[in-house]
Amino acid sequence: MAIEKYRHPILFYGLSILVPWIFWFIAAYISHIEPSRNLYVILVSILGLIGLSSPLVIACVLILPDSYLRKDLLNRFFNFNTIRPFYIIVTCFLMITSILLAQAISLLFGYSTSQFALSGKSSFSAGIFPAWFLLFFAPILEELAWHSYGTDSLRKRFNLFTVSMIFAIFWAFWHFPLGFIKGYYQSNLVETGVIYSINFVVSLIPFVLLMNWLYYKTGRNIIVAIVFHISAGLFNELFSTHPMSKVIQTVLLLILTTVIVIKNRNFFFKLEYHEK
């Protein structure tokens, strides 16, 4: 089995949090020195991009020397023939459905219908990089790391539920320095309020479970993981969504994920993994 070849989770995850943290904490420090000066903005942007890209570089270093892993990686970009249309539909439309339903429910609590208007702008800045560009580019870089090497290296040792919980915790810590970079999404979230920061962390649990469910149900297809990740960020920025609606969305996704896990207990809790 190809998954048996992914043998270095500690090395991968250790470097994938250490290297970004170094660059991102430096970027955070600089972002509060002279945030309005072009040179500092450029420097913060470059440091941010290096940190974002580093897990992919680490994955490439671990994969590329091994011809078997190279072949396995390439195959996982083009294995669409065996994917059931149901999983493609879920990948593309689950997140927009959940945020629209969450906004509709929020109306019952007195929140405005203006949430359904297109925002026309992003809720964060990204230095010299357009925020909308990062909504597409960041998920691509991340999933080319997480689902090229990281997830499978854990799945070799743990059942899928445990893998997802480990990664959700890791991912929450991985984002931590971004909360200190002025203007970044996580930094703005911290300023919005504690409940919304907590919601971001909690939301990673159903998100990771759903993404890994789709990833393994589609024969470890990396494109599926990338599209699902993009849809989550894009659709949550597309509308003028009130932050409380994102809390409601998390509750909805938790309910949905619980149902999926219960209905697929063997899939999530069986230790052995068998290729499709």
Task: Give the catalytic positions in this structure.
Answer: 142, 175
Distance, CA of 179 to CA of 53 (rounded, Å): 18
Half-sphere exposure of 97 (CA within 13 A, CB side): 10
Residue 47 CA from chain centroid, whole number: 20
Q: Which long-range contacts (CB under 8 A, 24 or more apart) does 198-205 make?
A: 199/243, 199/246, 199/247, 199/250, 200/175, 201/172, 202/250, 202/254, 203/246, 203/249, 203/250, 203/253, 204/168, 204/171, 204/172, 205/164, 205/165, 205/168, 205/254, 205/257
Residue 239's SS3 state is strand
Distance, CA of 172 to CA of 193 (rounded, Å): 17
Helix 160-175 to helix 9-31 angle, to the nearest 10 degrees? Answer: 20
